[in-house]
Structure 1
Amino acid sequence: MKKIFLISALILLVVNLYAQFPPMAETQKQIVIETDNTSLVFSVGKNQKLYQVYLGEKLMNPEDYKTLPNQHEAYVPSGMDNLFEPAIRMLHNDGNPSLELLVADNKVTRDGNVITTSILLKDSKYPVEVRLNFAAFQKENIIKTWTEIKHQEKNPVTLTNFASSMLHWDADKYWLTQFHGDWAQEMRMEESQLTAGIKTIDSKLGTRADMYATPVFFLAKNTQATENSGEVIAGTLGWTGSFQLLFEIDNSNSLRMISGMNPFASEYHLKPNENFVTPEFIFTYSAQGKGLASRNFHNWARNYGVLDGNGNRLTLLNNWEATYFDFDEKKLTDLFGGAKELGVDLFLLDDGWFGNKYPRSNDRAGLGDWQETKTKLPHGIGYLVEQAEAKGVKFGIWIEPEMVNPKSELYEKHPDWVLKLPNRDEHYYRNQLVLDLTNPEVQEFVYKLVDDMLTKNPKIGFIKWDCNRMMTNTYSVYQKENQSHVQIEYVRSFYKVMERLRAKYPKLPIMLCSGGGGRTDYGALKYFTEFWPSDNTDAAERVYIQWGYSYFFPSITSCNHITTMGKQTLKYKTDVAMMGKMGYDIRVNELTADELKFSQQALQNYARLKDLIWKGDLYRLVSPYEQERAVLMYVSGDQAKSILFSYSLHPRAFNQFSVVKLAGLDPKKNYKIEEINKVPDFRSRFRADGKVLSGDYLMKIGLSLPNNNELTSAVIEITEVN
């Protein structure tokens, strides 16, 4: 009996070990996707299925990947033996809802810094192909992945799940950092530990897609990641529409991350031989915390993700807070002089310049009728462009081409161009409706609106493209029986219009706006030079908003304006705006002489330092979520120059201030420390002002930053000296 017991125990031990440590993959084909520092590794099993075996820091010896077990099917389909959330679900012509995806081929191509791997999967029973694509950006340590789905069945198949990406991660614990909010409260950061089940971050809004939740996240494993420590994945979806990010911990405590378009109410009827291409999921891995992940994203975005990401940007003066809808030619041309006196590059004419049968004197009429209002602008836009040029500034203009007021000539002529239910009351948001951009006639209308304006006025130097509402009561006359296609096809149609415009106007600066930060994604930013983070321009609130965006978007993309909102000083507002792409929305003629002098000097400082701010490496030193202040700095690639921003966030933050250790400098170099953006007759309380200190000292000992008993800010220029 004792012998039988020992044999049984030994068998049980072997079975348990087998379950914990599946057979190694030494003889199986490996597909290795790598950047300079990161590896994503797949293995082809003996059953021809694709398994993800590794995601993390690049190993020195590639042969080591072959010892890793085949634990996680890479792109899990529905309908077979999967018990958790699938990446794809398809209903075939015969009613069968299953897929079994086997590896058929894989190809690798290289284009300079980018290595693209394409893995073809085919179903074992049906003529269905799924292609997984991975573009690895070597120096930036970014991987971009997307999926293509195709079939050759006789009739359309129905797709109900269609993920851009499925990634697997194994750890004891996971922490998710997400960004959410509402109008004027964008990008509020929140971190929580994931537990068993599914955590979903999503949007069902269609157009103003990330009004409540932004499609970005950090995922840390084993321990919470800080700015400079911890293993973390930073990810975002390049899609200007409804999205879904899923994080599911299964029964073995393994995590699967699924990203893509939101499949809610979006079943897609895929025609034979039609290629269904998902949006790109873009991610980076960091073993050194969130800061390095951010810098990876910034470098990638400037080089690949944003239109003209390494180019110039224009400082501007917007008329909105100066005039709102109440203006005429004289008021505007008078403001041109103020823009020149201030020292900005461009004057931007905002909402209210169009409509004749229904003049745009408020937000209840005129939207869609893109002709200059004759009573306001009798000489047209061309006259304003000429007058602005004569004053020495460029001219820019606001449009909202995807929207319409019911009180408009466009609505009267084309009620079938509007997304609305045919048998329900119309539902308005900001007194407007969404045009059906899936209709090619509407696409042509939007394209011609912009093209005609630019053809007639080729010296227009800037466009602000707004989108102030989401989809509700949605129905497309054009889509007929394919109503579940509307949200997907709308975004694709938006991109088609932008492709045409960018083919003809490749360099024109265009700001992406959506009632504030309702459109902030890399699907759109490949066509736009910048975005409007929020309609909330209160400088203290903006610190949090801009801080949140800084994790995923480089400062050159974030439009930060000095306005009359908020009770902070002009200096504080200016210093906060300077951490990104600075602009103004003020009445220049109401500035005091000292305020004008300060602003002119600040703009000169900005012109001198903007390349450092836009293209330097960002180091977040003190988080506003941890203390009642925020401190960050940008460092040039050669570590010869840096600029530091410090903001207090509480009116009695005096005792909160302590020494701050800097980052990113060369310890062997010496740096001159100088406070800039000083108001006239201001005596700096900054004790290090004018001193020369080593990089080693600044990073190990630090600086005691200036402060007093009210909301204060400081901008410190740090320059290498011999």
Structure 2
Amino acid sequence: MKFELSLKTNLFQLSALSVCFLMASAEVKAQNITIAIETKSNALVLQADAKKNLNTIYFGKKLSSAAEYDEVPSVFKQSGEYTSVLSSPYTPSGSKSLMEPAISVSHADGNNSLDLRYVSHKLSKIDGDVSLTTVVLKDPVYDFEVTLYYKTYFKDDVVEQWSVIKHKEKGNVLLQKYASANLYLKAGGYWLTQYHGDWAKEMRPEESRITHGIKTLDTKLGTRANLFQPSVFMVSLDKPATEDEGTVLYGALEYSGNFRTDIELDYLDNLKIISGINNYASAYTLKPNEEFTTPAFLYTLSSSGKGNASRNLHNWARNYKILDGKGQRLTLLNNWEATYFDFNETKLFELLKDTKKLGVDMFLLDDGWFANKYPRNGDVAGLGDWEENKTKLPNGVASLVKEAQANGVKFGIWIEPEMVNPKSNLYEKHPDWVIKQPKREEYYFRNQLVLDLSNPKVQDFVFGVVDDLFTKNPELAYIKWDCNAVIYNAYSATLGNQNHFYIEYMRGLYKVLERIRAKYPTVPMMLCSGGGGRVDYAALKYFTEFWPSDNTDPMERIFIQWEYSYFYPSITSSNHVTDWGKQPIKFRTDVAMMGKLGFDIVISHLKENDLKYVQDAVKTYNDVKSIIWSGDQYRLANPREGSVASMGYVSTDKTKALMFNYLVNNRYDEGSKFPIRLKGLDAAKKYKIKELNLYPGTNSSIDSNKSYSGEFLMTVGFNPVVNSGRTSVILQLDEIK
């Protein structure tokens, strides 16, 4: 009896305890604050617990019921987490965190720890498509605050994320690391696609499985930052993504200077991605009430392969980021490979006539038109002295602009205003404007040094280079802005804190570009950096296009342009027909048409049929360029996986499409042996197919009278008949109405 009573009492006590536990759990759960940051297809979900620790609880495909995000943590049965901040959306250092931090600081009192707790969040609607979520975090001990910003572009599944750091401590705080974003992903495995290169070898991909530890993608070059390591990357989840299958994240930092992306697989097999300005040699002293704003980290997540991710980015870029992203572009003839530095007014007048003969919009005068004391007759002298060379151009640039107008074409010009040759008047007058260590031997990159854009006087000078050209020549139609040198011996003669140098250089550059765009908002400018050394979405706010590579061999360009197409729309890619490579003029021109077309050849040296071909090709390009620039882009046959490369562009209404096809393997009997499946068409529509850009005197093997359903073309495919006798084939599809 006593045993029974005791058992009942114990059971009652256990039940009471269970009720208390459930009530406590419900109370804790009730105190959780969930923040769902959603786009059309995806959701990034943050949650603050009862102690205001903020963590990422979900990042993936959007759920129909937002309430179910709260259930996500319960279905993962991984090992203990220890710290409550492992999945923090902005991991602090020095307190509980055991892994790589997004932010690391030394407080005014010397304390190196930081603890960031949730304070508040807010959702603001910018327009029907764009929203901004802000999340405020604060240290409970120190008056130190970080605000996380998530700008979402709903339709395109694109997110821009950045942070603003500030404090009200009684002295300066030292920022040791200050990332823009800190993502946390869960999957059964992870594969990284990264890029590497050098001059003329841009955008070479490498894919590898991510293993435990940290993989860092970074640059310390200061300028021309993407020379060896572009900041763009992909991470595939569960398995390597293909063009049309698999889950893949595209990431890119919107910054033109030193960047750093840490990719860490932790002890729970989850992946942390931290990206921002490289903190190398850049500890930043933050004054009380000063705000430090990081550049935006851009990402898009696709659950249906790489192609969908790239089209999301293309649409976003054209609509929101690239200068005049949905506008027109100028086709051009450049003089560089025709003359190099050896030209005069008479030669240029002849080239202007060739511009009209070719049928393009503009003539572009490249390097070598300036400097008198140290004439710019090679790359060893004159850079920085931006007056017209009196020997080459006795009547100045104005005479060329006038002659261009007389020929019915526009005129553009090359500049490299951030740089200086030691053999120049500028260097002699203003040695303190040059980036160089006072106690070190000067070391040159392409016989030049970089001007110190952290210096406001240098900013005024660089702005003045552009402003003077337009003041004297209001009809100037285009700027090719080059940037050939990296920064050696980093030092500013006027900057008090040298740890701020790399950051202040970039701030100075952006200030100059802002001033230029405020005064000249619509002038087209090419972003050139000895090739693809400066290609990023922060710079493309100010430029209409970029130069992918100085390597214009069309076979190489197929591969280079292919890789850039994952991240940048074709309207931004400047592609020139040159004499690089051994391919015929048709092959070279067809490759260059997959973007913004230009020529850098001697028109007077062309054979009669070659000239007729390029003239007709320019006309054809003008007819179809809107599809290339604004249509949806589809990679159809990867040049790294077979003997044929094929790229497709489909108009948004699916009534027209283009298919560019090239032989990339010259071994015996190689060609398009199998049909190539098209993508993006309307399965119910009927299409006719005709061949474009036929070389004079040749006939197409494509029967333009046949019709095919979109379903057939996307399921079975179409054979463009690429072989050693037809190495380049462009097809146009038109809906039959």
Does the pair score TM above 0.5? yes
Residue in structure 2 matched with residue 570 of structure 1 by the alignment = 585
Contact 2:690–2:704 (CA<8 Å) still a contact in 1?
A: yes
Q: Deviations over 1:174-201 (max 9, x none)?
A: 0001111110000011111000111111
Residue in structure 2 matched with residue 297 of structure 1 by the alignment = 313
Aligned mates of 1:592, 1:682 — CA distance in 2: 16
Contact 1:42–1:53 (CA<8 Å) still a contact in 2?
A: yes
Residue in structure 1 matched with residue 44 of structure 2 by the alignment = 40
Residue in structure 2 matched with residue 252 of structure 1 by the alignment = 268
Aligned mates of 1:73, 1:190 — CA distance in 2: 29
Question: 1:27 offset after TM fit, Å?
Answer: 4.7
Does structure 1 residue 460 correspond to structure 2 residue 460? no
* Matched position secondary structure for 2:325: coil
Contact 2:125–2:132 (CA<8 Å) still a contact in 1?
A: yes
Query: What CA RMSD, in Å, does the superposition of the two structures yield over aligned residues?
Result: 1.6
Q: Deviations over 1:436-470 (max 9, x none)?
A: 00000000001111111111111000000000011
Letter in 2 for 1:585: D
Contact 1:325–1:352 (CA<8 Å) still a contact in 2?
A: yes
Aligned mates of 1:26, 1:365 — CA distance in 2: 70
Contact 1:649–1:711 (CA<8 Å) still a contact in 2?
A: no
Question: 1:344 offset after TM fit, Å?
Answer: 0.4
Does structure 1 residue 718 correspond to structure 2 residue 722? no
Contact 1:24–1:67 (CA<8 Å) still a contact in 2?
A: no
Does structure 1 residue 608 correspond to structure 2 residue 612? no
Does structure 1 residue 143 correspond to structure 2 residue 159? yes
Aligned mates of 1:216, 1:425 — CA distance in 2: 34
Residue in structure 2 matched with residue 10 of structure 1 by the alignment = none
Residue in structure 2 matched with residue 206 of structure 1 by the alignment = 222
Partner of residue 65 from structure 1, selected from 66, 69, 72:
69
* Matched position secondary structure for 2:495: coil
Contact 1:651–1:711 (CA<8 Å) still a contact in 2?
A: no
Contact 2:453–2:459 (CA<8 Å) still a contact in 1?
A: yes
Residue in structure 2 matched with residue 243 of structure 1 by the alignment = 259
Residue in structure 1 matched with residue 202 of structure 2 by the alignment = 186
Question: 1:710 offset after TM fit, Å?
Answer: 5.9
Contact 1:240–1:523 (CA<8 Å) still a contact in 2?
A: yes
Aligned mates of 2:131, 2:425 — CA distance in 1: 51
* Matched position secondary structure for 2:539: coil
Q: Deviations over 1:394-441 (max 9, x none)?
A: 000000000000000000000000000101110001100000000000
Aligned mates of 2:462, 2:363 — CA distance in 1: 24
Contact 2:644–2:722 (CA<8 Å) still a contact in 1?
A: no
Aligned mates of 1:602, 1:409 — CA distance in 2: 45
Residue in structure 1 matched with residue 374 of structure 2 by the alignment = 358
Q: Where in structure 2 are there 5+ consecutive unaligned residues?
A: 1-17, 19-24, 74-83
Q: 1:98 to 1:624 in 2, by over 3 A?
A: same
Letter in 1 for 2:626: D
Question: 1:385 offset after TM fit, Å?
Answer: 0.3
Letter in 2 for 1:493: G
Contact 1:167–1:257 (CA<8 Å) still a contact in 2?
A: yes
Does structure 1 residue 513 correspond to structure 2 residue 528? yes
Contact 2:646–2:662 (CA<8 Å) still a contact in 1?
A: yes
Question: 1:492 offset after TM fit, Å?
Answer: 1.2
Aligned mates of 2:631, 2:536 — CA distance in 1: 21
Q: Deviations over 1:349-397 (max 9, x none)?
A: 0000000101100000000000000011010111110001110110000
Contact 1:653–1:710 (CA<8 Å) still a contact in 2?
A: no
Aligned mates of 2:548, 2:631 — CA distance in 1: 20
Question: 1:269 offset after TM fit, Å?
Answer: 0.9
Aligned mates of 2:316, 2:43 — CA distance in 1: 17
Q: How does 1:47-446 map to 2 (within 5 A)?
A: 47-69=51-73, 72-112=87-127, 113-446=129-462
Q: 1:157 to 1:352 in 2, by over 3 A?
A: same
* Matched position secondary structure for 2:426: helix
Residue in structure 2 matched with residue 17 of structure 1 by the alignment = none
* Matched position secondary structure for 1:236: strand
Q: 1:35 to 1:379 in 2, by over 3 A?
A: same
Q: Given the two structures, how large is their TM-score scaled by the length of structure 1?
A: 0.96
Aligned mates of 2:295, 2:620 — CA distance in 1: 40
Question: 1:25 offset after TM fit, Å?
Answer: 4.9
Q: Deviations over 1:508-531 (max 9, x none)?
A: 000000000000000100010000
Letter in 2 for 1:401: P
Aligned mates of 1:79, 1:628 — CA distance in 2: 54
Q: Where in structure 1 are there 5+ consecutive unaligned residues?
A: 1-13, 15-20
Residue in structure 1 matched with residue 12 of structure 2 by the alignment = none
Question: 1:22 offset after TM fit, Å?
Answer: 14
Contact 2:201–2:551 (CA<8 Å) still a contact in 1?
A: yes
Contact 1:511–1:532 (CA<8 Å) still a contact in 2?
A: yes
* Matched position secondary structure for 1:693: strand
Letter in 2 for 1:513: C
Question: 1:265 offset after TM fit, Å?
Answer: 1.1
Q: How does 1:535-546 map to 2 (within 5 A)?
A: 535-546=550-561
Question: 1:689 offset after TM fit, Å?
Answer: 3.9
Q: Given the two structures, how large is their TM-score scaled by the length of structure 2?
A: 0.94
Question: 1:655 offset after TM fit, Å?
Answer: 3.4
Does structure 1 residue 691 correspond to structure 2 residue 706? yes
Does structure 1 residue 584 correspond to structure 2 residue 599? yes
Contact 1:654–1:707 (CA<8 Å) still a contact in 2?
A: no
Question: 1:700 offset after TM fit, Å?
Answer: 1.0
* Matched position secondary structure for 2:469: helix
Does structure 1 residue 704 correspond to structure 2 residue 708? no
Q: 1:25 to 1:637 in 2, by over 3 A?
A: farther
- Shifted more, 316-325 versus 62-71: the winner is 62-71
Residue in structure 1 matched with residue 565 of structure 2 by the alignment = 550
Question: 1:280 offset after TM fit, Å?
Answer: 0.5
* Matched position secondary structure for 1:78: coil
Aligned mates of 2:109, 2:26 — CA distance in 1: 37
Partner of residue 687 from structure 2, selected from 654, 671, 683:
671
Runs (4+) of structure 1 exceeding 4 A deviation are 21-27
Letter in 2 for 1:247: I
* Matched position secondary structure for 1:430: coil
Letter in 1 for 2:624: L
Q: 1:403 to 1:510 in 2, by over 3 A?
A: same
Aligned mates of 1:606, 1:205 — CA distance in 2: 38
Aligned mates of 2:700, 2:32 — CA distance in 1: 67
Question: 1:656 offset after TM fit, Å?
Answer: 4.5
Aligned mates of 2:213, 2:29 — CA distance in 1: 30
Aligned mates of 1:462, 1:146 — CA distance in 2: 33
Q: 1:640 to 1:408 in 2, by over 3 A?
A: same
Aligned mates of 1:616, 1:95 — CA distance in 2: 56
Aligned mates of 1:652, 1:585 — CA distance in 2: 29
Residue in structure 2 matched with residue 9 of structure 1 by the alignment = none
Question: 1:478 offset after TM fit, Å?
Answer: 1.2
Residue in structure 2 matched with residue 18 of structure 1 by the alignment = none
Residue in structure 2 matched with residue 627 of structure 1 by the alignment = 642
Contact 2:670–2:723 (CA<8 Å) still a contact in 1?
A: no
Aligned mates of 2:295, 2:708 — CA distance in 1: 48
Contact 2:89–2:181 (CA<8 Å) still a contact in 1?
A: no
Aligned mates of 1:126, 1:564 — CA distance in 2: 63
Residue in structure 2 matched with residue 643 of structure 1 by the alignment = 658
* Matched position secondary structure for 1:107: strand
Identity within the alignment, %: 53
Question: 1:685 offset after TM fit, Å?
Answer: 3.2
Contact 2:28–2:50 (CA<8 Å) still a contact in 1?
A: no
Residue in structure 1 matched with residue 541 of structure 2 by the alignment = 526
- Shifted more, 37-46 versus 321-330: the winner is 37-46
Residue in structure 1 matched with residue 79 of structure 2 by the alignment = none
* Matched position secondary structure for 1:164: strand
Contact 1:201–1:246 (CA<8 Å) still a contact in 2?
A: yes
Contact 1:646–1:705 (CA<8 Å) still a contact in 2?
A: yes
Letter in 2 for 1:44: A
Contact 1:360–1:366 (CA<8 Å) still a contact in 2?
A: yes
